[in-house]
Structure 1
Amino acid sequence: MKTGKTKAKATDFDRWLSATYGENGSFTALVVLVRIEEPQVLPLASTFLNIVGDEVSWAEVAALFAGARQAWDGAAFFAQTDADGPLENGEARGRLRALEGRIEVDRLVINQGDFFDAQGRRLKVEEISPN
């Protein structure tokens, strides 16, 4: 007989978080939420998170993003794995603004991070060649 909580199946995000934390310890993740309106990927909102463990699940992260009050289809995470651990807030904000600028110019920059859909599955932005 089973008792207690059953653990949800690990997502691509969960595996990424565990591996990144396991390799680097605590770090800051720059995050960009996007809406996907094929053929476009539209940045909606951004933030940064200080990751100090790997216990958080994709479901918990997605619930946090619900606070953005915008319908989103994907989230790109850019791990800042500096030797000193998580960034100071000012440094994180500066890097986030620079990242936003790079994404505004070229959406393929999203692929330099780890990109996940609303279910925590890995995504990739693909370039569309003009016909």
Structure 2
Amino acid sequence: MTPRPSLFDDWIRDEISRIGAFTALIVLVKIEDHTVRPLRSSHVHVMGSDLIWSDMAQLFDKAGADWDGVLFSVRTDPDDNGPIADSAAKIALKDHVQSLIEDRTLLNAGHFFDRKGRRLRVDEVAAQ
């Protein structure tokens, strides 16, 4: 029996169909009580829709971090609408992680998934 595609699989196909190739900034996170903490980050140039959740999750598991969720944030080159250069991706990723540390609700601006490839969102909670 073929496994059912995850929401990640649907998203990647739709994103490629809509904008073509792009760079995804990736941030693995730990979810604890009322906080989300960035653990590891990287970027990938997505050229086609053959990228599937099960392969990505296996790569994330090899990152050496006990992760609960992952954020994908799409970036395209303003000149040609394709993937951004590696040097630009590294700078964008550093800035992106710092912004997430300062404001976790920015997780909702990207494509946030749990370990099973299902969509997540962050809601603010009142201080207790």
Sort the TM-score into its range (normalised by shorter chain). over 0.9
- In structure 1, the partner of 2:99 is 102
Rounded Cα–Cα distance in structure 1 between residues aligned with 2:2 and 2:94: 36
Q: What's the CA shift string for 1:33-52, capped at 9, x where partnerless?
A: 00110111111010001001
Pairing 1:72–2:64 present: no
- In structure 2, the partner of 1:32 is 27
Q: 1:115 aligns with which of 104, 112, 115?
A: 112
Q: Which runs of 5+ in 1 are unaligned?
A: 1-5
Rounded Cα–Cα distance in structure 1 between residues aligned with 2:21 and 2:57: 20
Q: Tell me how many residue pairs correspond in the alignment.
A: 126
Matches within 5 A, 1:1-131: 6-82=1-77, 83-131=80-128
Q: Which has the larger radius of gyration?
A: 1
Q: What's the CA shift string for 1:65-95, capped at 9, x where partnerless?
A: 1221111000000011334311110000010
Which region of structure 1 is more displaced relative to structure 2, 65-74 or 79-88?
79-88
Rounded Cα–Cα distance in structure 2 between residues aligned with 1:105 and 1:18: 31
Rounded Cα–Cα distance in structure 1 between residues aligned with 2:57 and 2:76: 22
Q: Which runs of 5+ in 2 are unaligned?
A: none
Runs of 4+ off more than 4 Å: none
TM-score (norm 2): 0.94
Rounded Cα–Cα distance in structure 2 between residues aligned with 1:100 and 1:56: 23
Q: What's the CA shift string for 1:79-128, capped at 9, x where partnerless?
A: 11334311110000010011011011111111110100000000001101
TM-score (norm 1): 0.92
Q: Indicate the percent of aligned positions where both proteins have the same amino acid.
A: 37
Rounded Cα–Cα distance in structure 2 between residues aligned with 1:14 and 1:32: 18
Rounded Cα–Cα distance in structure 2 between residues aligned with 1:47 and 1:81: 16
